[in-house]
Structure 1
């Protein structure tokens, strides 16, 4: 997985993007596994589905776009990362390497070309209530974000993260109310990060990254625990959450 400064730090823009680009890309992994990627990018947020043509299985993907570098995670239905795509993105295509969390030392080249694209106003969000999960087995890490939409522009948020590397650790962030602006919310908690966290939502998932002044470094935030919650998430349940610490612990 790329270092935090490349993808999850210092996104200073706080205004939500007004448009989105949806592309259909076709190509192959390792010149042999045919795939079709339907990808929507909205600012730094990327999401869509990856269809493996041989099996006919469509897999949700969530990622972060930093300049022309795009990191995408494939997810199973429980929110565990099953594949990692890292490469160069443009309106013409996307190419790079694919790897698996279970075999991080092995990587396969992929190359996809755009066959269709549409730029349009950003999609309106439905109710965001539910459980958002991000499991990363290579680092023995599992993170949850619990969301209750309280109104059109108000969210109640709680977080729980567990990791075994480099040492076993658990982070719990109690219920906090944040304001939703477009598809974005800014979450401030000085106990885990000296700069705010930016939550970017789509219908079915979210990303969390650091958002701060240019002098802020990712290393400073890592020591406070922000690295345990930054990442890509899919929504695995639309059930309203229970926000007590005991209830959160039972879900893990």
Structure 2
């Protein structure tokens, strides 16, 4: 299971789940309970007209993007609203972050974006208040945890910016899908030049013979001096 956009998704790969139900006693309701709770979890209620979209878990010192959807009570886009984003840290201190309309491919979308940098781990509360023409247009709030999640496993999507930094730091190169020809050219250009290996036997030289004779002569001399035969 995972969140997808503003909803949730689930994949169940048990192709023989009917056997689970058939092999259980008739009084056992676990199978029905499982699917009932799964559907309830997937069918989350509609968000408020002003709602804070999911915040990506992060670590202290990293910039956190906060995205807020602002709509009318009829859930129509409200791009001309004035949005105030207030962030309260785990120590109770509050700060405001400026928000502006996010540039998206959908001209009818009304998503505002704000950014701030948490300085310490803990639970942060974000409150977004929208106003239009001096009147209150809606309020949304959400809480998220900083420093308590594995960012890599929480968001396993392709992070091109991080991969580019890794490639630059290690002397490599980042290639995206569709650059197969460039990959082949890079591999051909980095093939090491052919080298000729020469094998030399240490016994086939005069120094080895001299060392062997010197050792035998030394042994014979010592044995004679010590009176050994």
TM-score category, normalised to shorter length: under 0.3
Alignment TM-score, normalising by the size of structure 2: 0.24
Relative to its length, the structure with more helix (as a share) is 2
Alignment TM-score, normalising by the size of structure 1: 0.22
User: Rg larger in 1 or in 2?
Assistant: 2
Relative to its length, the structure with more strand (as a share) is 1
